[in-house]
Structure 1
Amino acid sequence: MDGHTAAGLRAPDMMVERLCVVHLAQSDSEGGANKAAYRLHSNLLRAGVESILHCGRKHLNDATVVPAHLPGVGNFVSDVAAYFNARSLRQYPNRMGTPFSPMRFSYGRLDTRLLSRADVVCLHWIAGGFLSAGNLQAIKKPMVWRLSDIWPFSGGCHYPGTCVGFERACGSCPQLGSNSDDDLSRSGIRLREDGYRNLDLTVVAPSRWIADLARRSHLFGGMRIEHIPTGADLTVFYPRDRLAARARLNLPAGGHFVVFGALGATTDPRKGYAQLRIALERLAASSNHQLTLVTFGSDEANRAAQISRFPVCHLGRIDNQDTLANVYSAADVLVAPFLEDNLPNVVLEAIACGTPVAGFAAGGIPDAVEHESHGYLAPAGDSEGLARGIAYILDRLEDGHMRSNAGAFARRNFDLLKCGERYIELFREVAESRA
C-alpha cells in the first residue's frame, strides 16, 4: 500500500464523541479561503464530526452545504449587497486598486435552528457582503475564527501592505487615499468593536505572519490566538510520475516547466506577476536555462505568449484537484512571487507533490518553504533574487533531494488530517469550556 492511500485510511480512527460544528463562509468553492473552509469541513466529516457548511453562495452539489440566504434568490442577492457596499467607495476617488470590503450591507440569513445544533461556530471568509460584525451578536455560541486575511481586524482592507493602521483603529487609510481619521476604515473598526463586544471568540491563524499581525491589532490584540496551519489533502496531492503527469496535460515530455498559479494570477498586483516577468527576463539574459512558463488561474487579459525567449503556456482556471496535482507534479519549479499572502494553498499543494518552490519571503510563505532545502526565498519584491532562486532549483534537479525534501516537509507539517485533529481538539475545548 502506498503512502497516500495509507494516509487516507487514518480518518476512521479519528472518531470523536458527539460534536457539531457549523461553518460560516461566503462560498463553498470560490477562492482559496472558501476552498480551505470546505476542505476543513469535509475533513471533519471524515473524522466523524457533525459538520455543516452554512454559506452565502452555494455551488457544490453537497447536502452538507446549506445556503444562508432567503429562498429563491440564489446568488443574486449577494451581488446586490456587494454593489451597494462598493458604492460607498466612490467617495474616495484616489483610492488604491487593492481590495477593500466595507460591511455596511449584508445579505446572509443565518438559520437559527441550524445554529442551535452547533457546539461551536467556525467563521471563515465572511466578507463580500455575506455577514457584518453586527450579525455575530445573534450567534449565542462559542466561535472560532480562522483568519484568511486581516479583514476581520482591519477597517476593511484585506492585506495591510506597509500600513499599521489596524494597530490603532485605522483612519487616514492609505488604501482609500484618505487623509481623514474619520473615514470609512475608522467606521469599519467601530462597527467591528460593537459587533465583537462580549463574543466568546477564539482566533486561529494559519500562518505565523498573520498571527503576529492579529496580536498587534487593536481588535484582536487581547484575544486568544492559536496557530494551526492550513492543511493539504495528501490523498490527492502527492508526488506523481512526472512524465505521466505531463502526458495527461498534453505537455512535452522534455524541457523545464516553471508553474505559476493563483486566482487572478496575471491581474492582481499582489500576486507578483509583474515581478515574475522581470525575473524571467533577467534569467533569460544571465543564463543558458531554457524553460516554459505554465500559468493557471489567470484571466483572459494579459496572457502573454512569450516572456523574453521563454514560451508561456496558459492552462486557464482549474477547479479539479486531481488536475492540479498533475500540474504540480509535471513542473520542475513552482514560482510564488506573491508580495503579500497568508499561507497560499498553491505552495502547500506543490510541496506535497514534491515540487520545489522559488518565491518571496513574504507573509506566511516562509512557514512552508525552507530556504535551499526544498526551495529558495528571495526578499519580497526582489526580482533578481527570484531569478537566482529559479536557477538555483533548476541547477539541482538531477539529484532529486529538493523534491524529496519538499514532500517530506509537507507530510510532516501540512497533513490535512493532522491539522483537522488540532481543530477538533480546539473545538472540543472551547465547547466544553462554555458548557
Structure 2
Amino acid sequence: MNLQSGDPVSSTSSSPVSSLPANLKGRKVVLVNHSDSLGGAAVVSFRLLQALRKIGVDARMVVYTKTSDEANVADTGTRFFRGLAFIMERLGILPAVGFKYVNLYKVSTGDFALNIHRHPWVKEADIVCLNWINQGLMSLGGIRKLHRMGKKIVWTLHDMWAMTGICHHAYECENYVLECGHCPFLASPYSNDLSHRYWKKKHKLYQEVSIKYVTVSNWLEKLASKSSLLRDADVRTIHNAFPVDQFYTAPPRNLYSFLTPEKPNIILFGAARLDDPIKGLDYMIDALNYIFDNYPVLASKTAVYFFGAMKNPQALDQLRFSHRCFGLINDFKIIRYLCSISKVMVSSSLYETLGGTLIEGQAGGAIPVTFAPDGRADVVKHLQNGYVARYKDSRDLAEGILWALKSDITREELHQSVADRFSAPVIARRYAELFSEILAEDPSKN
C-alpha cells in the first residue's frame, strides 16, 4: 500500500514519558550546535531535539545562530560578541593558512569562542550533548568548564574535527593517526605547526575530561578508532534522525504543478551547494552524458532535477540531458514531493559522513545511486536497495543510474529500508539509552 500522506504516523496510546528509562525521568538535556537550521549538522540536531522531546526527554537546544521560532531553542551571547568571536578566530587562522581563503574554513581552532557554561539552560542540565560547535561557539576550554560544573558530556561528531588537530575532514592525509603536524591545509611545512599544537591541547583535554563520543556513521567511527586522539575513547555510532514517517511514496495529485514531471523518469540530485567541489558534480555530469550519448531512447524518457545553491550556474551548461535546476529549496514539503516523483536519487560526493539526501530519497521511494567509501555505506547496500559505484568512476556511476532506472524495487520497500534504521523515534530511543547509561555511571544522578 502506498503512503499517500505526508502526515506523521499516529502515536501509540502509551505515554512517552512512561517508556523512558527510569533514571532519565526528570533529567534535563541540552543540545549544543552552531545553528538550529543552517547547515546539515543544524538540521539533524534540530530533528534530534524534536525526536527526544516526542519520547518524553526534557531536551532543549543552545545555538550560536537561531533562525527558527522554536521556544526550546535559545542563542547565547549578544549578536556583537557572536560576530566578534567568529571574526577573531578566522583572523587568527588566516596567517597560518598563508592568507589563502580556499583553506580558511577547512580548519578551526576554537579560540575566541563564546562558550555556553553561563547559559541558564546549561546550568540546569544534567547532560550536555555537543554537536557541531565550531566558528565562535565553543572552545576546548569551554568543554573543560562543563566538566568542572559536573555536567555529563556527549559529543556527537558530524565531521573529523574532534579527532584531528584542526581540520574538519582530513581527506587523504593520515597524520591524525599518529600526531597531527605537517598539515596540508597550512602554509607551514613544519611538524610543530598549528595543527600539532592543537592536537596536543585536545590530547590533554581528553585525558582530563570524560566524554562519550557518538559518530553519525560506522565509517566515521572507524576513523575515530584509527585516530591517536580517540582510539581509546568510548565511541559508538548512532545515526542521524530523519522524519521518515513524513515522506510519502506516491505524490499527492494537483500539488506543486510547477514541479510536474516532464518525463516518465526523474533523476534527482541535491546539495546545499551543487557546485561545491566536494559534491562531485562533474562526475554526475559525465555519467549522465554517457547515458545520453549511448542510450538515447532511455534518455529521451528521462529528465534530471537539481536543487541547491550554485555559485556558478554555468556549471550545468555541459549537461546534454533534459534538466531543471530549482535553486536552494528551504521548504521541506517540496523536498518530500521531489523525492516522491523521482525514480533515482544520486550522490556523487567525494565524501559524506552519512548521506542525508540518499536517506530522504529512499524515504520517498527513489533508488539511491552513489559512491560510498564513507558513511553512505550505512545507507546503500549494493544491488539490494541501491547501487554503489566505484569511487570517482563516472562510467560505473552511469551503470548504476541505468540499473536503477530499470530496477523493479518497490517504493514501499525503499521507504521501509530507511524507516527501520533512521526514523526519528528509533534514533531518539538510542540516545535515551545512552543518556541513561551515563547517568547510571554516577549514583548521585539516580
Give TM-score scaled by structure 1 length.
0.91
User: Are 2:252 and 1:250 aligned?
Assistant: no
The size of the alignment, in residue pairs, is 429
Partner of 1:263: 272
Contact conserved, 2:304 with 2:323, CA < 8 A, in 1? yes
For residue 152 of structure 2, the aligned residue among 142, 150, 154 is: 142
- CA 213–10 in structure 1, closer or farther in 2 if over 3 Å, else same: farther
Q: CA deviation at 1:173?
A: 1.3
**Partners of 2:13 and 2:387 in 1: how far apart?**
34
- CA 423–303 in structure 1, closer or farther in 2 if over 3 Å, else same: farther
Q: Secondary structure of the residue that 2:224 maps to in structure 1?
A: helix
Partner of 2:59: 51
Residue by residue over 1:239-278, the C-alpha shift from the partner in whole angstroms, topping out at 9 and shown as x without a partner, is 2327656x44433353322111112221x21111121122
Q: CA deviation at 1:144?
A: 0.9
For residue 157 of structure 1, the aligned residue among 160, 167, 175 is: 167
Q: CA deviation at 1:161?
A: 1.4
**Partners of 2:12 and 2:397 in 1: how far apart?**
39
For residue 122 of structure 1, the aligned residue among 114, 129, 144 is: 129
Q: CA deviation at 1:82?
A: 5.0
Q: CA deviation at 1:108?
A: 3.6
**Partners of 1:422 and 1:305 in 2: how far apart?**
42
Q: CA deviation at 1:328?
A: 1.0
Q: CA deviation at 1:179?
A: 2.3
For residue 111 of structure 1, the aligned residue among 118, 128, 135 is: 118
- Structure 2 residue identity aligned to 1:106: A
Residue by residue over 1:205-244, the C-alpha shift from the partner in whole angstroms, topping out at 9 and shown as x without a partner, is 1111000011111111111111111121123223232765
Partner of 2:403: 392
For residue 411 of structure 1, the aligned residue among 411, 419, 432 is: 419
For residue 223 of structure 2, the aligned residue among 209, 213, 219 is: 213
Please identify, of 2-11 and 387-396, the stretch whose mean Cα deviation from structure 2 is larger: 2-11
Residue by residue over 1:42-69, the C-alpha shift from the partner in whole angstroms, topping out at 9 and shown as x without a partner, is 1111111111101111111111111122
User: Are 2:367 and 1:359 aligned?
Assistant: no
- Structure 2 residue identity aligned to 1:62: E
**Partners of 1:361 and 1:341 in 2: how far apart?**
8
Q: What are the residue-to-residue correspondences of 1:191-206 with 2, within 5 Å?
A: 191-206=201-216
Greater RCO between the two (CA within 8 Å, min separation 6)?
2
Partner of 1:184: 194
Q: CA deviation at 1:84?
A: 2.3
Show structure 1 runs of 5+ residues with no match: none
Give TM-score scaled by structure 2 length.
0.89
Residue by residue over 1:339-395, the C-alpha shift from the partner in whole angstroms, topping out at 9 and shown as x without a partner, is 111112211111111111111022111111111122111122111110111111112
Contact conserved, 1:206 with 1:227, CA < 8 A, in 2? yes
**Partners of 1:251 and 1:305 in 2: how far apart?**
21
- CA RMSD in angstroms comes to 2.5
- CA 111–344 in structure 1, closer or farther in 2 if over 3 Å, else same: farther
Q: CA deviation at 1:326?
A: 0.7
Contact conserved, 1:208 with 1:227, CA < 8 A, in 2? yes
Q: CA deviation at 1:189?
A: 1.0
- CA 94–81 in structure 1, closer or farther in 2 if over 3 Å, else same: closer
Contact conserved, 2:2 with 2:250, CA < 8 A, in 1? no
Contact conserved, 2:278 with 2:350, CA < 8 A, in 1? yes
- Structure 1 residue identity aligned to 2:227: S
- Structure 2 residue identity aligned to 1:114: W
**Partners of 2:184 and 2:28 in 1: how far apart?**
42
Q: Secondary structure of the residue that 2:80 maps to in structure 1?
A: coil
For residue 354 of structure 2, the aligned residue among 335, 340, 343 is: 343
**Partners of 2:49 and 2:16 in 1: how far apart?**
15
Contact conserved, 2:51 with 2:424, CA < 8 A, in 1? yes
- Structure 2 residue identity aligned to 1:430: I
Contact conserved, 1:96 with 1:175, CA < 8 A, in 2? yes
Please identify, of 143-152 and 185-194, the stretch whose mean Cα deviation from structure 2 is larger: 185-194
Residue by residue over 1:260-297, the C-alpha shift from the partner in whole angstroms, topping out at 9 and shown as x without a partner, is 1112221x211111211221222222222323221112
- CA 237–263 in structure 1, closer or farther in 2 if over 3 Å, else same: same
